[in-house]
Structure 1
Amino acid sequence: MNAVSELRVMAYTADGLLDANPAYVEALRLLGTDGRGEILVAADEEQRLLGTIMFEPWSPESEIARNADEAEIRAFAVAPEARGRGVGRDLVNALVERAREEGVTRLLLSTLPEMVSAQYVYRARGFERVPERDWTPMPDVNLLAYELVVKD
C-alpha cells in the first residue's frame, strides 16, 4: 500500500492538485486502507508502479453515490512519466469492468476542474457530467461530478 500511497501523492503534487488543500495528502494516502474500496494498479514489466485507481462500492460514507447500485471512482493517479501511454485508459476500463462484475449500474466520480487530463480519459470512456452532484467539501474546493451508466 505504501507504494500506491506515494504514487498518488506524487502524481497529485506534480499537477499542483494539493495546493488548495494540502491536508488532503493524508486522506489520499489512506484511501482504501479501511477495507471499503478495492485498489487497482498498473505496473510495467519490471513491476514499477505506473498508476492506480480505486473502486469504492456505495456505503453510508460515500461522497456522491446515493444507493447500493452505485459506486465511486476514487484516487485516480498516473505517474507523470507514464502519462500518454494508455495507463489511465486501461485503469478506468478495468474499473468499469469491475463495476459491471459487481452489478453496479452507475459509476460516479468527483474531480477538480483543473484535472483536465483525467476528465479527458473519463469522457473518452463515456462518462458524462452530472452537475446536480457537484459539491464543495471545503471553501475554494469545488468538485465536478461525472457518471457512467454501466451496461451489461
Structure 2
Amino acid sequence: MNIYPYLNFDGQAEEAMTFYQSILGGEFEGGISYFGEAPGMEIPEEEKMRVMHISLKLSEGLKIMASDTSPSMGHVWIKGNHNYISINADSKAEGVRIFSGLAEGGKVEMDYQKTFWGAYFGSFEDKFGIGWMVNYDLQGGEE
C-alpha cells in the first residue's frame, strides 16, 4: 500500500503542479488528464481544460497528486477541502476493506467502483472530516 497527498484546486492545478515540479523536480506520470477528455461526460466549455488528474512522481513511492474542482458536478473549492489522503491499495479486496472501514460514519462522495481509467476508485470524507481517496489499479485481465 502507498499513501500520497492529493490536492484540489479551483482551476489552477496545472499551474500549481508545474510550479511544484520546477522547485521539487520529478516527472509527471501519464500526462495530464482534463475533464473534457472524459468519455460520456457533459462538461461545460469553461471546465473542459480543468485538470481531472495529474501526478508528480518525485521518487519511488513518493508522489503529489492533484485535480481541479468541477463546479458543474457540484464541486465547490473551499479552503479546507483541498487536501485528501490518497491510498493506492495492493488489491481490489484491500481497497474494499479500507474504503468500507474508513468511510463508516462518514460521507461518501463516490462509491468504490470500477472506473473508465482501469481502476477501482472511491472517495469520501471520514467521520472526522478528513478527505480520503482509495484506488486500486487493475492488473492484466482483472475486472
**TM-score, normalised relative to structure 2:** 0.34
Structure number with higher strand proportion = 2
Q: Higher relative CO (CA 8 A, sep ≥ 6), structure 1 or 2?
A: 2
